[in-house]
Amino acid sequence: MIKESVKMVVFDMAGTTIDEQKTVYKCVREALIEYGFEYDLEDVLNRIGGMNKREGIALLMKQVEPSVTEEAIDVVFQVFKTNVEKAYSEGNGLKEMDGATELFGLLKSRDIKVVLDTGYFRTTANLLIDKMGWERDGLIDFSVTSDEVRAGRPEPYMIQKAMDVFQIQSPSEVAKVGDTRSDIEEGINAGCQLIVGISSDQYSKEDLLEMGATHAIDSLNELKETLNL
């Protein structure tokens, strides 16, 4: 039984457990445009979805100007970070994905660790976690952000850090859940037993399976069956 072997489920945040109306990618695009780097929203989503946002901004800037400096990247990143944190603080339109609270509670009742990982930096992630109330309500066990490890997705370091915290020895005991290519690749690189992709207007279930997901679903409510809870 899958539920008997999985000890921890690692969830992405924006787009997977939190509906934030693509605010983060809109803010990336606005910061880039302010400094002359023209991208449409679909390009930003497709190229850096799920990535560490500074690394993503650097990637997009270097595609336009290969010799761009680290100082210039930092300027654009700080504009982005200020804008997205302001938007999240105001909280307009922020809500959990349908079924998230129920699912977290069910996992915890089965003694399965609930972990959030994200391409955000810690200050931004905390704004979202606080808005959702999950930590306050004891529904998550741990969260890890891309600035707390050597590199963000698709590298496996955030998952590995969570495994270390809970002394989980084998990635076969870990499930990864996310909605982007970098989520799927993170799960693959970490060696997770289950890699569950959640479909969106960006990627279909077929797309996610082609990327390497072991399972693809349309909503968090379906994860209960996938995990055999």
Give the per-residue SS3 of the chain. Answer: CHHHHCCEEEECCECCCEECCCHHHHHHHHHHHHCCCCCCHHHHHHHHCCCCHHHHHHHHHHHHCCCCCHHHHHHHHHHHHHHHHHHHHHCCCCEECCCHHHHHHHHHHCCCEEEEEECCCHHHHHHHHHHHCCCCCCCCCEEEEHHHCCCCCCCCHHHHHHHHHCCCCCHHHEEEEECCHHHHHHHHHHCCCEEEEECCCCCCHHHHHHHCCCEEECCHHHHHHHCCC
Same-domain check for residues 15 and 43: no
For range 82-89, the mean pLDDT:
90
pLDDT above 80 (res 92): no
Residues 67 and 121 reside in one and the same domain: no
Structural domain harbouring 36: 23-90
What is the pTM (predicted TM-score) of this model?
0.89
Query: Same domain for 133 and 162?
Result: yes
Contact 213, 197 (CB under 8 A): yes
Which of 90, 117, 140 is the last residue before a domain boundary? 90
Q: What is the pLDDT of residues 38-49, one digit of tens each?
A: 999 999 988 898
Share of the chain above pLDDT 70, in %: 98
If asked whether residues 82 and 111 sit together in one domain, one would say: no
Q: With a cut of 50, say whether residue 1 has pLDDT above it.
A: no
Both 194 and 86 in a single domain? no
Asked if pLDDT for residue 138 goes beyond 60, the answer is: yes
Residue 93: pLDDT above 80? no
CATH code of residue 193: 3.40.50.1000
Q: Are residues 6 and 34 in the same domain?
A: no
User: Does 186 share its domain with 100?
Assistant: yes
Is residue 44 within 8 A of residue 52, CB to CB? The reply is no
Domain boundary residue among 90, 120, 142? 90
Question: Is residue 123 located within the same domain as residue 174?
Answer: yes
44: domain CATH number is 1.10.150
Query: Domain count of the chain?
Result: 2
pLDDT in tens, 139-181: 999 999 999 999 999 999 999 999 999 999 999 999 999 999 9
Q: Say yes or no: 99 and 209 in one domain.
A: yes
pLDDT bin (cut points 50, 70, 90) of residue 90 is confident
- 216 and 103 within one domain: yes
**Residues 52 and 153 both lie in one domain:** no
The predicted-structure confidence for 177-193, as pLDDT tens digits, reads as follows 999 999 999 999 999 98
